Each structure stands twice: as C-alpha cells, then as structure tokens.
Amino acid sequence: MKALCDREKLREALAIANNVIPAKSTKPILSNVCLVATGDALEVVVTDLDAALRYRIEDGVKIDEPGTVVVPGRVLLEFVRDLTEPTVTIDSSDSSCRVESGSDSCELVVADPDEFPVVARFSDEGSLPLQAGTFTALVGKTAFAAARDQGRYAMHGVLVEIEDGLLRFVATDGRRLALATAPYDTTNYKPTPAGANGAARPTIVPTRGMQLFCRVLTDPLDQVRLNFSDNQVGLKTKHAEAFVRLVDGEFPRYSAVIPRECAHSIEANADTLSRKLRLVSNVTGDDARAVRLSLSRDHLEMFGQSSGKGTAKAHMEVAFKGGNAEIAFNPDYVLEGIKNCERSEVRLEFSERTSPGKFTLGENYVYVVMPITIDI
Amino acid sequence: MSLSQRNPPAPVATDSPFEPHADARHQALQARRVHARSAAGAPETATSAQALAHSAALAPSAATAHGTGPAGSSSAWQVRPQGGRDRQLPPGTRRILHLDVDAFLASVEQALHPHLRGKPVIVGGLPSERNLVMSCSYQAREFGVRAGMRLAEAARLCPRAIFRRGDSQAANRLREQTTRILRCFSPLVEVASIDDFFVDLTGTLALHGSAFDAAVRIRERVQTEVRLPLTIGIGTSRLLARLAGKLGKPGGVAEVFSGCEERFLAALPVEHLPGVGYKIGALLERFQIQTVGDLRAVSREVLFSSFGRLGLVLAERARGVDREPVQATHIEQADGTLVARPPGSIRRDSTFEPEEGRREIVEAMLAYVVERACHRLRAHRSAAAALEVRLRYVETRTHVELQDSRAEQGSECSARRTLPVPSDSTADLVRAARELLRSLPRRRALVKRVGLTLAPIVARGGWQWHLFDEHAGPDEGAADCAHGVDTKRPSRADRHRSLDETLDRLRARVGFGRILRGSSAELARSHELGADGFRLRTPSLNQ
C-alpha cells in the first residue's frame, strides 16, 4: 500500500479513532489501527469489539497503490501529531510501514491484516434519518445523568425510544433522571424486518458510545443515519461509520418516577438560581453535599453547611404555588441539569421532602432529582 | 475513729510540696495504703483529704479547704472570693480537674439501693456464674476482692458480699447527671470513659474561687445529688490531674501545685505513669528505673531506641509535659438535653458463657452487637467508614504448642474492611460484618468471644434517596401498569433506611429488646431477653 495524505485530515481521523483504541486489552491486535487504501480514499478503522469506527478521508488523499496495513494506533497518532509538513506519505511492505513527512520519517511494525477483526459496513436499509444537531442536543441533555461507576448495569447508557412521532432519550443513575424528547416524523421510517425488533423496542446505547457518536458529528446541520439492530447501533455520517454494542439489560421503569401532580411549585430565573446554588454549595463538604431549599411565599431560601467549612445562605424571589415547604438536593445534580436549561425560567415541582423533585428545563425536557435528607 | 486520730496529721508542708528529708516515694505509696484503710470504715472525706496533705506533693491546705466547704449547699455560680494559692498563680495557668467515680458500677448499685450502702457489693453476676468481677465496692475490697477476679473466688473471699448484675442504663443516667453538675462549673467537661471525667477550670478563679475549693464543692454536690463518691485530682495538665487523683483514692481531693510538678513526678513510682504497663514496667525495673525521676534521667534517644515512639511519649510524660486540651464531649441542645459528641470509634464485644460451638449463634451474636453499635452510631448522627470483626476461640493447644514460635496463629483473629462509602445502615454493616466473620480462619474449637469495632467514625452526610429499586425484576410493577397504575417501589437501601429510623424511634419508646431483627433472633434460644435487649455476659457493654 502506498498513499499520500493531508497531515491535518489524518491527524483528525486518528484523534477520533483514539477514543476507540483500548488502553489495555487482552487482544494486542486491538491496539492497532487498520489503514485501508481504496481507489479514492483512505479509511482508518479501529475497534475494541464493543465499539468500532470506520473513518473515511477523501479530500487531500492520493492513492498510489491500494492495500491494507495494520500499525500501532497510538504510536502513529503521536507521530503524526508532531509533524509539521502538510502531507504524510504512508508506504507499507509486508514487514514494515514507513510513514514519512518532509525530512521526518518512521518505520512502524505491522501486524497481519487478517488478524484484525472485521468491521461491518453500515446498511442504509431500515435506518433512521436524523439531523446531527438534534442528536447531539438530545445526548447533551441526557447523557450526563447516566450512571458512571455504580448502579444497575442497564443505567450505564442512554435509553433511545422512537414512538408516536417522538424521539425520546432517557438517562438515569438511580438518583436523578433526565428525559428529553424531540419531534420526529416516523411516517417515512421503515425499520428493516430484522431491525423491527430492534428499533421498536427500547434501546440502551452506552454513554461511551454516545460520546463517540458526538465526536464523529462535527457539523450540526449534517444529515446522519442511525441503524438499530438486535445488539448494536450504527451511525453513519458523511465521513464516518460508527458502531456500538448496545447495553444488554432492562432499563428501569422510568415513567413511574416522574411526578405528575405536585403540591409545591416554584418558577425561578435559571441563571440566578444556578448562581445562588453554586454560592451556597461552596460551603458544603463531602460529609453532607446538600443544599436545603426552604420555600415560603414568593421567597426561596437556600442553606448549606458542613462541619469543616461553615454555613452559607442565599435568598431569591420566585413565583410560588403551594404551601411553605422544605427540600434538600445535592447541588451538583441540580446544577448539572440547570446548565442545560433551554429557557430563562426553570420550574421545580415537588410534594414531600422524600419524594422526587421535577425540574422542567424546556418544553420537551424534564429532569427529576431525588432529594437528600439532612440533619440540619 | 477517724483516720486523723489513727494517723496523726503530717507536719503542714511549707511552700515546698515535700518534706526535704522524707522519702517521697515511700510516702506516696503509704498514702495509698492509708486510703485503702480509710475506706474500710465510713470513708470520711475530711480524713482522706488530710491523708492527702500528709502524702507527698499535695495541698497543705487541703484539710482546711475541705473542712470549710459547706457541703452541697452552695450554688455553683456563687462568687467565692477566697482563691487560696490559686490567686498567686500567673493568669492563664491551667487548672485541670480529673474526677473518678470510686468503684463506679458498685457505687451505682449503692446509689440506687440505699440498703446496699456501706456493704460489700460485687457487680458482675451471681457467684454461680463463670463471670468475672466487673466492679466491687471498697467494703468488698477489704476482703481482697478485685475487679477481674472470678466471681466464685470473690464469693469465697467475701461470703457476705452482695452480688449484682449491674444496671448499665442506670449507670448511663447517673453519669449524665454527674456531667450536668460538672457543666455548672465549666463548659469544658470531657467524659473520658465510663467512670472518669476531666474538667478545665482555667480562668474561673473569680467565679469559683480556687480549683481546690471548686473540687470540694463538686464532690459534695455529686455526693448529695447523685450519691456517687468522687475522687478528684487537680493539676496543671490532664496527666498531673490524673496522677494526683490516683493518690487521692478513694473519695479524696488531691492537688499538685503549679511549679512543683517536676518534683512531684520525680518521687512517683514509674508504674503510675500512663503507658507504663506490666511489660515496660518490668523492663524499666531491670534498668533500676523505679521512679519517674529515674526515668527522666534517661535521655530521649535511649528511650526511643528502647521503646520506639512510645519511648518519646514516656520521656514527655516523665517531664510532666501534656498539652492535650480538655475537650467538651457533650453539647447542650436548645431543649436542655445533653447530646454527646460522636466518639472516635465504637467497640462492642460479647463473651459466650458457656463457650459456643454453633455457628448460627455466633453469627446471630455478631449481628446483635452490630445492631447495638449501629443504634449508637445513628444516635450520634454518624457513620462508620470501616469495621473490624474479632473472634476469639477457646485455646485448645498445649503449652508446648503455644511456645512454638512457628504456631500458625493465636486463638484470636480479626479482619478489617473499609466500606466503599461510610454507612450507618444496620443491614449494610451486618452484611459486611458477616462477610468478615466468614473470611476469618475457622478452627475446630468453641468460640469464646465475638466483637466488633466501628472506626473511624465520620459525620453522616445526608441520605440520598433513590429513584428505583435496584433489585426489582424487569416485569415488576407491570401488572399495576396494565391496570393504569404506574407504581414506584422504593429502593432496597431506602427501605432499610426507613426501617432503621422507625426501629430507632420505636425502641426509644418501648426499649431496645422489645423488637428483634431476624438476624439476631436465634439468640433468643440461648439468651434471656429483657426490655433493654439480651442479657449479655458483660452487661456494661449492653449499650
């Protein structure tokens, strides 16, 4: 294989591919990147068996001799990153691969391309057309609430549901839950017979997969396609095809935990609320990461304390419904939600000190946080 | 006959706490013997004080000061102009009191049951039981009975003794009453153990007069209101107050004058120093180090090379250096209730009598002690960051086997684990403790004791409620959903949290033993269950 490639394009492709290359693996071949030179493009293929990426570089590529070469991924990325010349030449033989740019060059060890796992091609049949911006917005509004290090396995991802002209993304870690929907015209959406089973049923995409998809989606106006199959989801953009294995598990019954009718409700300016919450949360410590919200008529008082730092209080005017009440939340949870608020006003509704608080952060965006009971 | 008649008062000391010609160590020891005798009859507090004045390094004015104090009649806040020697002290000189209840559990029994006063009382159980003496009144000590002795032996030494099981709840109550009285004198009251206290009276000269006067009034108030006998030591540090108190037992008030600490310590037998136990004492004896003065002559380097870090501590103590402050252990709430500050660790042990071979009983006992410890933990609004489980088997190996240094392990084994997140949940801690117990090596021997330590104790953060039941099956609630009802089942952790809170509230009303958890229900077969819980072999630990 012999190819000439624009350095910046190659670096960008390898940087995205780097998200897939596993840091440690029992299969050493997975730490490699597979470069496939076809008639008009150079493809960068990586996989860790849970996720796979095929990134196609078409502009600034000249293929002299088609072929495939498998070289250490991170080494290649580090080398290309520090090059200064605008082009890179990749020239491989059976035993080595020479990467050259101006006067700089390196000779990399190659692996047998037959050992590299086969990464499937994206099938347009039964796929779901979608605007990149809609997808990334839904991920941004929900993925932060997914479980990271504990909780049920099925919570380590974002639930994607398509029904009744709606695309719904839900994520939870068992303490808070983010639910965002976007209108979606499903009339032209015809899942394949094989995919009917996949797309119709709830699909949990791991958080890491969602992050990979968002890395691949660079232009929000791009039209992309999603394809759900039984055990994986694929995403196709102009340049890339990415595949992620779905989380095999049952997502909790989230609809039961979203409060419907609440005794208390406040409507507050999102910026002011988040500023005051941050202010009070500064004094809360690891022993009690909680801010108490006390509601009285048109008035919200925030109070935080910790044994090692002290106490803090903040007040703000709010639109208020219901009686006087108190509830405490982990301020980090609330702030992470308010950060994504689409409107200038945020509405908080709750019933009791131990029942969930529902934050309405947009027309189609609900964030539910379980309270904390504190001894103050 | 009063002691002063039997032992004529020593010549009143001058400014020097010692008689220049006297062997101070001999005097100190003699003073202790004098006290033991004084307790035989009615322990006249005045005579004790005189005896203290008689001993080395004690307030020469002790007898006088004591004699003039109107017993229990004065208000704690009454201004006492007479400051005695304290008036000559530079401002800010520390005045620390160490208060020790004489024969605490036996005195509690005597306080509760007036007919026991002045009689030999032994607390620990009935003589037919294989238990140990936990506490014995001074009247019983006359016959040679000592704490730690087998009850049967105590019964043999003192056939007229009255044997009691002890009442830990009453002991707690009386201790709290004593704390309240002490808090009238200073906010800095530290309850150091079940029967001793530290009070910092620094800077209260104008308010209470001299520390000695205040100590005498404290002792009288506690005697009158709580009916517990106190021995009080006064010094410029916790160490000196404690050492002075040792010489004042029983029922005396002893003071080490400011400026005379080194000379006081120099004459003291080295084994009086905290940290010098049997082993170190024996080693020091081999080096001809008999008094604290002898120890002081040894350089820090030599002590460090001999005893490691403890050697440095001993060097400090031998010089009377103890800067540790008295820390208030209780906070008074707005409603007047006294709340103890959270302890650094919570330890619970239970001994089986007879020794236990059934694993399920051992596990049930462990679950019970964990439950007890968690109950206390929650009362302090604290959580445990780690726990340790201890198990002691009956020693089955021969003397020769034990001497063999290659013997695999002793009869006691323990395992410790740090929890992923600090917890106060009985269910979590019982599970962790049980796992630790199962990880311990098994021996073909009966179990003598099982115990638990929760340490370190940290402040409890808020309780984060959960959205879902982590262990609910995927179809759980589906039936309700089909009927148009979307139900939410609380998570397991939330349910256990609510259960703990409800049980704590119920037990506060009806008594701990009225409700049993399944994990410790097995114990009901072998142990008597009362309102305060199972009757364990060591009731004082039944907290």
pLDDT the model gives residue A90: 92
Residue of chain B with shortest Cα separation from A375: B462
Cβ pair A202, B474 in contact under 8 A: no
pLDDT higher than 90, residue B319? no
- Predicted-complex ipTM score: 0.83
Q: How many CB atoms lie within 10 A of CB B207?
A: 15
Those residues of chain B whose CB sits closer than 8 Å to some CB in chain A are 381, 458-468, 470, 472, 474, 477, 481, 486-488, 491
**Helix H or strand E segment including A60:** none
Name the β-bridge partners of B350. Answer: B450
* pLDDT, tens only, B119-131: 999 998 888 877 7
Give the integer Cα–Cα distance in Å for B438 and B41. Answer: 54
pLDDT higher than 60, residue B16? no
pLDDT confidence of A241, banded at 50, 70, 90? very high
**Helix H or strand E segment including B67:** helix B62-68
CATH of domain A258-369: 3.10.150.10
Residue of chain A with shortest Cα separation from B381: A375
Strand B230-235, strand B253-255: pairing: parallel
pLDDT confidence of B405, banded at 50, 70, 90? low
pLDDT confidence of A16, banded at 50, 70, 90? very high
> Rounded mean pLDDT of A327-334?
94
A127 Cβ under 8 Å from any chain B Cβ: no
> Rounded mean pLDDT of B526-543?
64
> Rounded mean pLDDT of A290-312?
88
Cβ pair A329, A295 in contact under 8 A: no
Kindly report the three-state secondary structure assignment for every residue of B384-419. EEEEEEEEEECCCCCHHHHHCCCCCCCCEEEEEEEE
C-alpha closest to that of B373 among B359, B364, B383, B362: B383
3-class state of residue A111 by DSSP = strand
* pLDDT, tens only, B260-304: 888 888 888 888 888 888 888 888 888 888 888 888 888 888 888
Cβ pair A266, A348 in contact under 8 A: yes
Q: What is the end-to-end Cα distance of chain B in Å, rounded?
A: 42
Give the integer Cα–Cα distance in Å for B200 and A289. Answer: 35
* pLDDT, tens only, B136-189: 999 999 999 998 888 999 999 999 999 998 887 788 889 989 999 999 999 999
* pLDDT, tens only, B24-77: 433 443 333 333 323 333 333 333 333 333 333 343 333 323 322 333 333 323
Give the integer Cα–Cα distance in Å for B292 and A259. Answer: 72
Our CA-based measurement puts residue A170 at a distance from the nearest CA of chain B, in whole angstroms, of 14
Give the integer Cα–Cα distance in Å for B212 and B210. Answer: 5
pLDDT higher than 70, residue B486? no
Torsional class of A72: left (φ above 0), alpha (ψ -120 to 50), beta (otherwise): beta
Residue the block writes with tokens 């974002």: A158
Our CA-based measurement puts residue B372 at a distance from the nearest CA of chain A, in whole angstroms, of 21
- Mean pLDDT rounded to a whole number for chain B: 76
pLDDT confidence of A187, banded at 50, 70, 90? low
- The values of phi and psi at residue A241, to 5°, are -125, 125
Q: How many CB atoms lie within 10 A of CB B312?
A: 14
pLDDT higher than 50, residue B241? yes
With CB atoms and an 8 Å threshold, state whether A375 touches B464. no
DSSP B8: P
A313 Cβ under 8 Å from any chain B Cβ: no
pLDDT confidence of B11, banded at 50, 70, 90? very low
C-alpha closest to that of B225 among B184, B191, B187, B190: B184
- Closest partner residue to B462 among A174, A255, A328, by Cβ? A328
Q: What is the end-to-end Cα distance of chain A in Å, rounded?
A: 70
pLDDT higher than 80, residue B535? no
pLDDT the model gives residue B294: 87
Q: Chain B interface, mutation test: which of A204, A251, A253, most B Cβ atoms within 10 Å?
A: A253
Give the integer Cα–Cα distance in Å for A323 and A308. Answer: 33
Domain assignments of chain A as residue spans, ordered by start? 2-115, 128-254, 258-369
Residues in chain A: 376
3-class state of residue B3 by DSSP = helix
Cβ pair B107, B228 in contact under 8 A: yes
C-alpha closest to that of A347 among A369, A320, A314: A320
What ranges make up the beta strands (E) of B330-460? Answer: 330-332, 338-340, 346-356, 382-393, 412-423, 447-454, 457-459
pLDDT confidence of A128, banded at 50, 70, 90? confident
Chain A residues inside the 8 Å CB shell of B477: 253, 256
* pLDDT, tens only, A217-234: 988 888 899 888 888 899
CATH of domain A2-115: 3.10.150.10
C-alpha closest to that of A370 among A359, A351, A354: A354
Cβ pair A335, A312 in contact under 8 A: no
Name the β-bridge partners of B132. Answer: B150
The distance between the two most distant Cα atoms of chain B, rounded to a whole number of Å, is: 99
> Rounded mean pLDDT of A207-218?
90
The single-letter code of the amino acid at A213 is F
pLDDT higher than 50, residue B90? yes
pLDDT confidence of B471, banded at 50, 70, 90? low
| Domains A128-254 and A258-369 in one fold | yes
Q: Chain A interface, mutation test: which of B419, B424, B464, B485, most A Cβ atoms within 10 Å?
A: B464
pLDDT higher than 70, residue B473? no
Cβ pair A64, A74 in contact under 8 A: no
Please give the CATH architecture assigned to the domain spanning A128-254.
Roll (3.10)
* pLDDT, tens only, B359-396: 888 999 999 999 989 988 988 888 999 999 999 988 77
pLDDT confidence of B83, banded at 50, 70, 90? low
With CB atoms and an 8 Å threshold, state whether A252 touches B468. yes
